[in-house]
Structure 1
Amino acid sequence: MEHPEPDKRTLRRRFLSVRNRCTEDDVRAAAEVVARQALDLPELAAAGTVAAYVSVGSEPGTGPLLDALYARGVRVLLPVLLPDNDLDWAPYEGPGSLVPVRRPGLMELLEPAGGRLGPAAVLAADAVLLPGLAVDAHGTRLGRGGGSYDRVLARLAAAGTGPALVVLLYDAEVVERLPAEAHDRPVDAVVTPGGVHRFPEARRRPPR
């Protein structure tokens, strides 16, 4: 008798359970290594504008990467969560430019203090760093379920822009298969402490 594949909600609980066992030292160490790996990506080396995000909790830390991109002279855009879960964007202006924001039902977020540029600002990005819980061998990303980045990816697709889509994960979060839906857009690469995983077929395959 075949067992049904776990649904996205079940998988999210599993991956979060493992990730939440990471210590602060684990997160900090992963952040340094992932930053070094990501900065060597040709997609980031050639980017004039990168849409990124500020990591929260036990996510692989993005702080060292944000600072390195900013020091390199890259225009870094960071998200501002809107009441409807869509994302506005504002420029990252270096260490100390983030402010804590708490919204009902959510953990405290760090958001950029600079002027808001509007949801369409992401269309200027040469590369987009996406948060996630896992990615499979086909480039399918499992997000947290809020839908914010589904809107971002839909906006990019509707505009016909083709920025590199890169996810930052821990090694065990790159898996063989995840459930995919029609709107899922495959990513181009995953960066983990152990290395870079690429999905070249993602550029040739429409969303499933």
Structure 2
Amino acid sequence: MASPQPPRPPGAGPAKLALRDQLTTARNRLALTEIGLFARALAGHLLAAPEVHRAATVAAYVSTGVEPGTTWLLEGLARSGTRVLLPVLLDDGDLDWAVHAGDAGLAPARYGLREPTGPRLGVDAVATADAVLVPGLAVSSSGLRLGRGGGSYDRALGRVPVGTFTCVVLYDGETDRPVPAETHDRSVTAAVTPSGLRRF
């Protein structure tokens, strides 16, 4: 018999929905030129960070829509010879992983995602990364990350060894937010915004 789950904090679900709506609305107001400029700044901060610069393997993702852009970051990692793992969304919402082989190795997927087409490495492959970069909508002052609500990255972060550099990629104004905590939530060790990198 499974052990009982700790009770969910009262109001956490509705509070998260309200915060997600607020942050998504703000992102939708960004101009494409701003998104591009911010993407370059984010890449600069991450590629200069020792945890990423020294990493042999980095788990990252392909940004979509108005998410903080990762194109410059992925190109920079490729130029430096870093092995990059990208997620593949499974039917149960979990994340498999495959090696990034450039834009030609990406294909359209569900929910507007672009995913690698190479061999799948399994859900535990994320545990082999020296640095893990994840999407999000906000982060608290203690490193509690707010995602989109599917739980995919909370599961992935749960497989990452303690002490690994885990960083959520955000815009300015999305840090130090009052993120309601639920039992399945996983914290990150850092957050990067166009203004810089912050470690928790």
TM-score by length of 2: 0.89
CA RMSD of aligned residues (A): 1.6
- Correspondent of 1:25 among 33, 44, 55: 33
Of 4-13 and 167-176, the range deviating more from structure 2: 4-13
Measured in 1, the distance between the counterparts of 2:95 and 2:50 equals 26
Offset, 1:175: 2.2
Number of the residue aligned with 1:135: 139
Number of the residue aligned with 1:123: 127
Number of the residue aligned with 1:60: 68
Measured in 2, the distance between the counterparts of 1:148 and 1:34 equals 23
Measured in 2, the distance between the counterparts of 1:113 and 1:27 equals 26
Is it true that 1:75 corresponds to 2:76 in the alignment? Answer: no
Number of the residue aligned with 1:151: 155
Which structure is higher in RCO with an 8 Å CA cutoff and minimum separation 6? 2
Q: Report how many residues are paired.
A: 189
Task: Tell me the SS of whatever aligns to 1:99.
Answer: strand
Cα contact 1:139–1:189 (8 A) shared by 2: yes
Task: Tell me the SS of whatever aligns to 2:197.
Answer: strand
Q: Deviations over 1:37-88 (max 9, x none)?
A: 1111111011110000000110010011011111101110000011111011
Offset, 1:183: 3.0
Of 20-29 and 31-40, the range deviating more from structure 2: 20-29
Q: How does 1:95-134 map to 2 (within 5 A)?
A: 95-101=103-109, 103=110, 106=111, 108-134=112-138
Cα contact 1:67–1:95 (8 A) shared by 2: no
Cα contact 2:138–2:177 (8 A) shared by 1: no
Measured in 2, the distance between the counterparts of 1:98 and 1:186 equals 29
Offset, 1:120: 1.1
Offset, 1:161: 4.8
Q: How does 1:174-189 map to 2 (within 5 A)?
A: 174-189=175-190
Offset, 1:184: 2.4
Number of the residue aligned with 1:204: none
Offset, 1:12: 0.5
User: What 5-or-longer segments of structure 2 have no aligned partner?
Assistant: 1-10
